[in-house]
Chains A and B, each alone.
Chain A
């Protein structure tokens, strides 16, 4: 059992080591591709196990919980691991067309897989300190990916990204220290029980706020998001796609985990804050996007506004709300990664990323226009694409609690999202190219073009499948939400062997 849990962490690490040793030849990228496929298979097996058993747990090194490190997978974790594997594979395939051998020789694939290992570890761990360690693995690798190649803009962005993420990490670490001081345990399932027995519940809330700030920076919620739009438009498109898809979601996942399992003593206070933070995040993100005029900067601000929907699902703290949040997570990772990938093809075909300096893409490549429209409309929430159902569930959940204002904000933000997407559409696809430069897909060598288009098509198809058959996915999200709201099963699975 425990090997199903260990595999999604071990496979990327093994791949990273092999890819680093083979980085000077073409073999490195094929090892990297094989590793991504293997991770997808392993995550599929894990998902199957979780569907069969509900929650599965494994004690690493045979140290019993709560003393050792436990890896746990409930539905949320398993879904996140699967989606990580999908995004990883898509980006690696895309990178076959985009990433130049010079970057590969610097260890691109090794860093990439080390980051994936960190992300998977963070999703699977059942121990708070171990979560910190995985965050760091992910962060160090992402620092490397952000500045790899080392042009000026990347280093500039790297400074801001590194600085603010380190601060958040230290807030998180201080929180862990205080939580340990209060309860004497670090195992999340054990914490669920131990936190209830702490006499001074006010102190628990204080610690909860430290965690909220730490994770909030990672998730890029208002007012802690400033590192994100400063950084995400500078690295290569593969890197920014995987950052946009996965990294902030690790923060959202951690929020969801800690604020349903551990910090539930004062929901009226903590989740109320989350609620208003979510509303502010949605609004500032979308307004920030409206003010931008660069392809990837617009998309970066949209990440922020969408994060608000996910945390809103958590803040509502009802089965439907959480299900909406989880559904939103899945939908958003696919769609957002895809949009960044499209941005890459658009830049290569039209020669620039500044919207004022490109145009005419629709005439040159109508197929690319279609590939942009699908995720863009999905992001804005057009039926029958995945984004519609995601927004529908979240808004319905907030209406059920009679949070009229929040529901209004959520709908308004959807409308404003359409505005930004139209802006990109009008500037990049419809209007003629300002310099008389003729954008053509054939500017990209066909050997590079196909690996770049393939993952875009695949992700677009997935968006449509989720949109056309939402029942399966909503059901999965609801299972995840029920497990999150009633962690008895989770706690029993983790600690069961001690009780017996």
Chain B
């Protein structure tokens, strides 16, 4: 689409959407949000960009292939499930390491496998939707 308003607006929108998608991803565990919503928002950002500047530009800005990203995401999510093998827990048991305390109330923050899983989901949704939309956009 060749409209200067859309192109100019898209740049701001894309940045905002991407930041918001990461925000949604990180707040996901205890508040509404998470990898799925985050991935959708992130994909929306690139779709807006593709509408404004064309799919070739969007693919260039993405740098990696969306299909590959989705598969890597699946791998990341699987790794989150496999981590629990190290502690002898069943598949996909959440692993939590509290930093500066020993529970949700006292710790400053935590390193956990649940977030790793959500990051994986984020990548799957992001990559999956983008590969589909970009392909349709190019073919139609």
Physical contact A–B (CB less than 8 Å):
yes
Chain A interface (Cβ within 8 Å of chain B)?
2-3, 5-6, 10, 13-14, 16-18, 20-21, 58-62, 71, 107, 110
Q: A10-B81, A10-B82, A21-B68 are in contact. Are A61 and B91 (CB under 8 A)?
A: yes
Q: How many angstroms between the C-alpha atoms of A21 and B74 in the bound complex? A: 11
In the complex, 13 of the A-B residue pairs with CB atoms within 8 angstroms, ordered by the A residue number, are A2-B90, A3-B91, A10-B91, A13-B74, A16-B71, A17-B71, A17-B74, A20-B67, A21-B71, A58-B90, A60-B90, A60-B91, A60-B93
Q: Which residues of A contact B93 (CB under 8 A)?
A: 60-62
Q: Which residues of B contact A107 (CB under 8 A)?
A: 67
Q: Which residues of B contact A5 (CB under 8 A)?
A: 91
Give the one of B74, B90, B92 with max A CB within 10 A. Answer: B90
Nearest-neighbour CB distance to chain A for B4, whole angstroms, equals: 39
The 7 A-B residue pairs with the shortest CB-CB distance, nearest first, are: A6-B91, A2-B90, A17-B75, A20-B71, A61-B92, A62-B93, A60-B91
Q: Which residue of B lies closest to A19 (CB)?
A: B71
Verify if B33 is at the interface (C-beta below 8 Å from A).
no
Q: Which residues of A contact B78 (CB under 8 A)?
A: 10, 13-14, 17
Nearest-neighbour CB distance to chain A for B107, whole angstroms, equals: 21
Q: Which residues of A contact B89 (CB under 8 A)?
A: 62
Nearest-neighbour CB distance to chain A for B25, whole angstroms, equals: 20
Q: Which residues of B contact A13 (CB under 8 A)?
A: 74, 78
Q: Which residues of B contact A62 (CB under 8 A)?
A: 89-90, 93
Q: Which residues of B contact A16 (CB under 8 A)?
A: 71, 74
Q: Which residue of A lies closest to B76 (CB)?
A: A17
Which residues from 73 to 91 on chain B have a C-beta closer than 8 Å to any C-beta of chain A?
74-75, 78, 81-82, 85, 89-91
Q: How many angstroms between the C-alpha atoms of A114 and B74 in the bound complex? A: 11
Q: How many angstroms between the C-alpha atoms of A21 and B94 in the bound complex? A: 27
Q: How many angstroms between the C-alpha atoms of A239 and B60 in the bound complex? A: 35
Q: How many angstroms between the C-alpha atoms of A16 and B81 in the bound complex? A: 16
Q: A10-B81, A10-B82 are in contact. Are A2 and B91 (CB under 8 A)?
A: yes
Q: Is B85 a contact partner of A14 (Cβ separation < 8 A)?
A: no
Q: Is A61 a contact partner of B75 (Cβ separation < 8 A)?
A: no
Verify if B72 is at the interface (C-beta below 8 Å from A).
yes
Q: Is B72 a contact partner of A17 (Cβ separation < 8 A)?
A: yes
Nearest-neighbour CB distance to chain A for B83, whole angstroms, equals: 12
Q: Which residues of B contact A2 (CB under 8 A)?
A: 90-91
Q: How many angstroms between the C-alpha atoms of A71 and B90 in the bound complex? A: 11
Given contacts A17-B72, A21-B71, A62-B89, 4 further A-B contacts (CB under 8 A): A20-B68, A59-B90, A61-B92, A61-B94
Q: How many angstroms between the C-alpha atoms of A38 and B119 in the bound complex? A: 27
Q: How many angstroms between the C-alpha atoms of A60 and B93 in the bound complex? A: 7
1/0 per position for B83-117, CB-CB distance to A under 8 A? 00100011111100000000000000000000000
Q: Is A58 a contact partner of B71 (Cβ separation < 8 A)?
A: no
Q: Which residue of A lies closest to B91 (CB)?
A: A6
Q: Which residue of A lies closest to B82 (CB)?
A: A10
Q: A14-B78, A17-B78, A61-B92 are in contact. Are A3 and B71 (CB under 8 A)?
A: no
Q: Is A3 a contact partner of B85 (Cβ separation < 8 A)?
A: yes
Nearest-neighbour CB distance to chain B for A347, whole angstroms, equals: 31
Q: How many angstroms between the C-alpha atoms of A58 and B67 in the bound complex? A: 33
Nearest-neighbour CB distance to chain B for A24, whole angstroms, equals: 11
Q: Is A58 a contact partner of B91 (Cβ separation < 8 A)?
A: yes
Identify B90's interface contact among A6, A17, A20, A21, CB under 8 A.
Answer: A6
Q: Which residue of B lies closest to A13 (CB)?
A: B78
Nearest-neighbour CB distance to chain B for A7, whole angstroms, equals: 9
Q: How many angstroms between the C-alpha atoms of A5 and B81 in the bound complex? A: 14
Q: How many angstroms between the C-alpha atoms of A269 and B26 in the bound complex? A: 53
Q: Which residues of B contact A59 (CB under 8 A)?
A: 90
Nearest-neighbour CB distance to chain B for A61, whole angstroms, equals: 4
Which residues from 36 to 91 on chain B have a C-beta closer than 8 Å to any C-beta of chain A?
67-68, 71-72, 74-75, 78, 81-82, 85, 89-91
Nearest-neighbour CB distance to chain B for A21, whole angstroms, equals: 6
Q: How many angstroms between the C-alpha atoms of A3 and B68 in the bound complex? A: 28
Q: How many angstroms between the C-alpha atoms of A107 and B74 in the bound complex? A: 15
Q: How many angstroms between the C-alpha atoms of A256 and B92 in the bound complex? A: 28
Q: Which residue of B lies closest to A14 (CB)?
A: B78
Nearest-neighbour CB distance to chain A for B115, whole angstroms, equals: 15
Q: Which residues of B contact A17 (CB under 8 A)?
A: 71-72, 74-75, 78
Nearest-neighbour CB distance to chain A for B59, whole angstroms, equals: 18
Identify A14's interface contact among B75, B90, B91, B92, CB under 8 A.
Answer: B75
Nearest-neighbour CB distance to chain A for B119, whole angstroms, equals: 15
Q: How many angstroms between the C-alpha atoms of A132 and B75 in the bound complex? A: 22
Identify A3's interface contact among B67, B74, B90, B94, CB under 8 A.
Answer: B90
